[in-house]
Amino acid sequence: MVNNRELHKKDEFYKKAKLEGYRARSAFKLLDIQKRFNIFKRAFYILDIGSAPGSWLQVAKKYAEENIEKYKDQFYHRDHFKIMGVDLKNVTPIDDINIIKSDITTPEFQKKIDIFFLNKIDLILSDASVNKTGNKFTDQIRQLNLCYKILEIIQKNLKNKGNTVIKVFQGSDFNKFTRDMNILFRNLKSFKPKSSKKQSNEIFLIGLQKI
């Protein structure tokens, strides 16, 4: 009998992540989103919520470095990037990235954002997820509560015309959350990357150009 660990190691995206040096297969979710929506365009200041194990931070750093060379024009440009990753778990350090262990709902976390970014965040990412109980209804409600907390951070800290990506679980209140998020952006898209597992009820909401 094949266990889940053995199935994971046979997974196409697990193998690809190992081959390309990413910490987890989840990197390809963000790469798929970027390919479809170009969320990293002119993104120099980036916040990643729920960073463990760090694969999205690796992707963010790749595009931030490229942007410094790519966007040397009279429009919005920077000669440096700032990336912060936050999680309740420990995340192995990555060069040139500020990784903190913190609860995102605390005033202390907001202070850290203020000091680090100076109210200039171009892109906020969230692959954050609650610990699943196995009950899809309960997990969806708990994930939705987390998403609303993240949406408050987005509303307060993402700059005008900034982009965001947030993971949501599909369920009874998904449409309400979509409507609430849609108010903040000129364009809102829902997307399930190829690398998301077929049995997963996760879906990503991509907010483009914050109002």
Catalytic residue annotation: 167
User: How far apart are the C-alpha atoms of 61 and 72, rounded to whole Å?
Assistant: 18
Q: Tell me how crowded residue 176 is: count the other CB atoms within 10 A of its CB.
A: 10
Burial class (CB in 10 A: 0-12, 13-18, 19+), 54: buried
- CA torsion sign, 134 to 85 to 187 to 193? negative
Cα of first residue to Cα of last residue in the chain, in angstroms, is 52
- The tokens for 109 are 């976390």
Amino acid identity at 106 = T
DSSP 163: E
87 touches 52 (CB < 8 A): yes
Radius of gyration of the chain (CA): 17
SS3 of the chain: helix, strand, coil, percent, to 5: 40, 25, 35
